[in-house]
Structure 1
């Protein structure tokens, strides 16, 4: 009798788990990269920090937040409107730029 009860509880647990997972609407993770568009180039924002000493001239700022992916110049999907964009000294802007996020600067690479 005890064995039957344990098997029943295990089966109930497994079925409940499958139902809950199958009915979930929440995606397990975004399949879109953190991205922005500037000068008709799509950039992926990385977690690589850029020091203030490495910053060149300011290029502009983010004008619109666009999800799931940016579609035109000044759009970003994970960067706040008003965030500033900069050149990185010694790097062509067609390869990478710096983007301000929460008071820090991060490298954004051409996608």
Structure 2
């Protein structure tokens, strides 16, 4: 009886360990875009001055997994990215949102 109990306990522990290890590095509780291999978390801050267009969303999905290209879990395909005047793109970029631009902050490499 004890062997069965301990076997079940070990199986449950292993199953929980596997499930916990399968999570993606992207925080799907917040909106983000991926540009140039880096994930940028979209902030509540709007940008007053953009510089040049640097890319656009090539893949949109609200289903959690790892995607390639310039991906977003919020913005549709074709949404443009811009550099921000006075801020290096390694730090933040601007995401087109209608007539305005939302600041997105670099959160590190995507998919690691």
| TM-score tier (shorter) | 0.5 to 0.7
Aligned partner of 1:76 in structure 2 is: 72
Larger RCO, structure (CA 8 Å, separation 6 or more): 2
What displacement does 1:105 show? 0.4
Residue ranges of structure 2 left out of the alignment (5+ in a row): 1-26, 108-112
Pairing 1:24-43 to 2, within 5 Å after superposition:
32-43=29-40
Residue ranges of structure 1 left out of the alignment (5+ in a row): 1-29
CA distance in 1, matches of 2:38, 2:67: 10
Greater Rg over alpha carbons, structure: 1
Aligned partner of 2:85 in structure 1 is: 89
RMSD: 1.8
Matched, 1:64 2:59: yes
Tell me the TM-score normalized by structure 1.
0.65
CA distance in 2, matches of 1:93, 1:44: 13
Contact 1:57–1:86 (8 Å) recurs in 2: yes
Aligned partner of 1:16 in structure 2 is: none
Tell me the TM-score normalized by structure 2.
0.64
